[in-house]
Amino acid sequence: MEKRRCNFCYASGATEKAILYHDTRWCKPLHEENELFAMLILEGMQAGVSWNLILEKEEAFRRAFDGFDPHIVSAYGEEKVQALLSDRGIIRNEKKIRAAIANARAFLKIQEEFGSYDAFIWSFTGGKSIDHRLKSLEEMPARDELSERVSAELKKRGFRFVGPTIVYSYLQGIGVVNDHCICCDYR
């Protein structure tokens, strides 16, 4: 019997990579530091474009941003910014690229303060995933009180491209929020 998925997987624009992302990564608890950073950058890059496009370009992003190692990204200078702006494999938006560098620096400061970024981001929910037990994706908000709180804290700490809607998507992407429909076999 074929497994059931959240209904957006059956939409006409759902790509093979998007379905794989849904099945294996979306709303799954993530605790690895570089991947937490990677998802933060990818979600910021997604502003104004489709998530399918980000997933199609993910490997190019990983290559261009040195595997999303925040130590390396935080040290990028103007030469690297210019190289990224000419990289046709990624989203070449100067504000987003410069935000990724600023976010790497802020990410490292959080690691110093909290021992890990993981400890910081999961502290908002006491280390537990919030399961909204949605009956349909129409019930899914674009943002909520938690994403507004996390967004405000990240902005206060110098992060960019972390508005409440981006943060809500990020929290789903790292499993702090589980918005798989209750009928989905990939919950």
| Distance in angstroms (rounded) separating the CA atoms of residues 15 and 21 | 10
Query: What are the residues whose beta carbons fall under 8 Å from the beta carbon of 101, sequence distance 6 or more?
Result: 73, 74, 76, 81
| Alpha-carbon distances of 95 from 44, 81, 130, 160, rounded to whole Å | 10, 10, 32, 9
Strand, coil or helix: 178: strand
Residues annotated as part of the active site: 21, 43, 51
Query: What are the residues whose beta carbons fall under 8 Å from the beta carbon of 19, sequence distance 6 or more?
Result: 5, 9
CA quadruple 84, 88, 89, 93: dihedral, nearest 10: 50
Helices 164-173 and 145-156, interaxial angle, to 10°? Answer: 100
Q: CB of 157 within 8 A of CB of 106? A: yes
CB neighbour class for 81 (10 Å; exposed up to 12, middle 13-18, buried from 19): middle
